[in-house]
Amino acid sequence: MPRSTWGRRLWIVFTVICFITSLLPSPARSFFGELTIEKEKQLGEEFFLQLQQYFNIIHDPFLNSYLNAVGQKLVQQVGAQPFDYHFSIIEDPSLNAFAVPGGYVFLNTGLIQLMDNEDELAGVIAHEITHIHARHIAKRMNKAKFTTIASLIGGLAAVLMGGAAAGPLLMGTQAASESAMLKYSRDDEREADTL
């Protein structure tokens, strides 16, 4: 197929996507917008409420007070924050800790039980605080939107092109999208470790 025909087809695909996006109702169109601080707060709160439906959150006053004291001391080192930080322990034997948008940090009991001292606990909490402070999750969500759009364009282009080139183009588009997201994830982890 001549190169000018491919370019024309890609332009048509892009135009169709833009047209379809313009017809979407406002909430769907906001998918393509930036994840604001307020949206992050709302997302974090909703996630926390949903998490409680599926996992046992430890409500021991001593443990929660201790974890919160360590966490808030670390938050103070970061400086002014747009979020109120919340630290919770999930009853789960796996070695995991994670953060979600809006200032929510979770540590599994399995990880805590493995720790030998407060320094190890502080290191894990600081890493998770950094993810929130640097807005890694929000940035990754925003980047995912663009890789999703790129994948959609690649998929539509493969359909329009048809023939022998369609399969490799579709697989290449999907592989590039996944590779980009893994790179963002690795970069975020390195930055969180460094900070």
- Do 156 and 10 touch, CB atoms closer than 8 A? no
Give the pLDDT confidence score for residue 180 in this predicted structure: 47
Give the pLDDT confidence score for residue 111 in this predicted structure: 95
Give the pLDDT confidence score for residue 100 in this predicted structure: 86
The torsion defined by the Cα of 135, 100, 79 and 95, in degrees rounded to 10, comes to -120
- Report residue 69's pLDDT band, with 50, 70 and 90 as the boundaries: very high
pLDDT at 91 over 90: yes
pLDDT at 70 over 90: yes
**Encoded tokens for 28:** 């769907």
Give the pLDDT confidence score for residue 141 in this predicted structure: 67
Positions marked catalytic: 128, 193
- Report residue 28's pLDDT band, with 50, 70 and 90 as the boundaries: very low
Average pLDDT over residues 156-169: 51
Average pLDDT over residues 93-109: 92
Reported as type and span, the H/E element at residue 126 is helix 118-133
Euclidean distance between CA atoms 91 and 1, whole angstroms: 58
- Report residue 120's pLDDT band, with 50, 70 and 90 as the boundaries: very high
pLDDT at 33 over 80: no
Query: Higher confidence at residue 40 or residue 65?
Result: 65
* Selection from 151, 165, 155 nearest residue 1 by Cα: 165
Q: pTM for the whole thing?
A: 0.62
Give the pLDDT confidence score for residue 79 in this predicted structure: 84
